[in-house]
Amino acid sequence: MPVHLSDMSVIIGVIVGLIGWFIVRCVLTGFFTVEQNQRAVLTTFGRVQQLKGKSTLDLPISEHLSDEHKNRYNYPQVRVIGPGGPYIKMPWQKVHKVSVAIETASIAYDPEDPTVNQSWTILEAVTKDQLNIGVTGQLRFKVSERNLYAYLFGVKHPVAHIMGYFVSILRERIANFEAPRESTLPLGDLDESLIEADTSQLEGISINDLRKNLNELNEQMDRECLSSAARYGIELDASLITGIDPPEEIESALAAINTAHNEVSADISLAQAEADQKIEQSKRAVEIQTMRVQAEVEPLLRVADELKELKANGKSESLAAYLRNVKLQLFRRARRVISTGES
């Protein structure tokens, strides 16, 4: 059957198209590079390249998971492509690149809704005494290259998920936060319950506890978020809560309460200083009197030793002369002497 010229042109066009597609897919787009602050994972027909027999439970990041969560967050380890290139990929393969640089965001950040939390500026929370407060601060995080499977395939919106995880922990900590009780007053023989009552009055307002112990709260958050890399593939590098503010309508009342508490604390500190000073003076007085008594007793002890030695050596005449001299001194000091007739 003869082939027409038009059919040949169609065949040639198809061949040229296939060659062009091959050049574009395999030559022009068949190479890729990875930047210094990036890591890449390659999938073949949608399947990620895994490290055989290895999971995230073999990594140190899983140490902070409970036994229950270890079964839940058991992800395979994947082959991670580091910075460099060019690397080759086939048309049926896809490259997933992620940035591992440290990012900073407000603790009120929500990537899914820019209008919440007063446009990402203030996070609302409730204290243990039912006081609505506004919390401000910064959060630093980065993608964990040791658990890219969880970041790329385990969670749909990992950044939104990790922010929700952090905020839920922060609100729970604020709602149950209790400042460490440290009494600066020496107990001694005082009523311990009275001192504890005074301390509770000074430290009983939750927002004051939070403001005075921001460092403790930040440390608690860092400890609670150590498992985030194993859970969601994002490492919470550090959290820094910088401000805790009450509602405007109670700001003046809270300031008055704090002023009164500061005055009470000053009075207690002054009383404690005076008590410490009196105790120290009493100690010094006891020491002085003890030294005086010792100074008076020491000569008597030495005289007693000498008399014992004289008696032991048979020198009764010297002993009698000493006793006579002592009696004469006593007679000189005495106002009245009663004699029994014995010399």
Does residue 265 fall inside a structural domain? no
Question: Do 124 and 18 reside in the same domain of the chain?
Answer: no
The pLDDT value given to residue 32: 85
Does residue 47 fall inside a structural domain? yes
Does residue 190 fall inside a structural domain? no
Question: Do 47 and 142 reside in the same domain of the chain?
Answer: yes
Does residue 339 fall inside a structural domain? no
The pLDDT value given to residue 143: 92
Write a three-state SS string for 116-157.
Answer: HHHHHCCEEEECCCCCEEEEEEEEEEEECHHHHHHHHHHCCC
Question: Do 47 and 22 reside in the same domain of the chain?
Answer: no
**Residue 93: which CATH number?**
3.30.479.30
The pLDDT value given to residue 304: 76
Question: Do 97 and 44 reside in the same domain of the chain?
Answer: yes
Q: Can you tell me the distance from the alpha carbon of 258 to that of 204, in angstroms, rounded to the nearest whole number?
A: 11
Mean pLDDT, the chain cut into blocks of 10 residues (343 residues total): 59 70 62 89 89 89 88 90 85 88 90 85 86 88 90 88 89 83 48 47 64 84 87 86 77 67 78 86 86 80 76 71 75 73 56
**Quick one: which of 218, 328, 211, 327 has its CA closest to 258?**
211
The pLDDT value given to residue 202: 44
Does residue 196 fall inside a structural domain? no
Question: Do 20 and 133 reside in the same domain of the chain?
Answer: no
Does residue 266 fall inside a structural domain? no
| Residue ranges of E strands in the chain | 31-34, 38-44, 47-48, 50-55, 76-78, 84-88, 93-99, 103-106, 123-126, 132-143, 234-245
Question: Do 61 and 166 reside in the same domain of the chain?
Answer: yes
The whole-model pTM stands at: 0.61
Q: Can you tell me the distance from the alpha carbon of 16 to that of 6, in angstroms, rounded to the nearest whole number?
A: 15
Does residue 83 fall inside a structural domain? yes
The pLDDT value given to residue 303: 75
Question: Do 220 and 103 reside in the same domain of the chain?
Answer: yes
Question: Do 86 and 121 reside in the same domain of the chain?
Answer: yes
Question: Do 15 and 101 reside in the same domain of the chain?
Answer: no
**Is 205 in a helix, a strand, or coil?**
coil
Question: Do 11 and 123 reside in the same domain of the chain?
Answer: no
Contact at 8 Å (CB) between 51 and 76?
Answer: yes
Q: Which of the listed residues 246, 271, 293 is the one where a domain comes to its end?
A: 246
Does residue 197 fall inside a structural domain? no
The pLDDT value given to residue 98: 92
The pLDDT value given to residue 27: 57
For residue 98, give its domain range. 38-177+213-246
Q: Can you tell me the distance from the alpha carbon of 307 to that of 318, in angstroms, rounded to the nearest whole number?
A: 9
The pLDDT value given to residue 258: 67
Exposure b/e, 132-170, CB count within 10 A at least 16 = b: ebbbbbebebbbbbbbbbbbbbbbeebbebbbebbbebb
Domain count, the chain: 2
The pLDDT value given to residue 5: 54
DSSP letter for each residue of 283-329 = HHHHHHHHHHHHHHHHHHHHHHHHHHHHHHTT-HHHHHHHHHHHHHH
Question: Do 60 and 104 reside in the same domain of the chain?
Answer: yes
Question: Do 27 and 58 reside in the same domain of the chain?
Answer: no
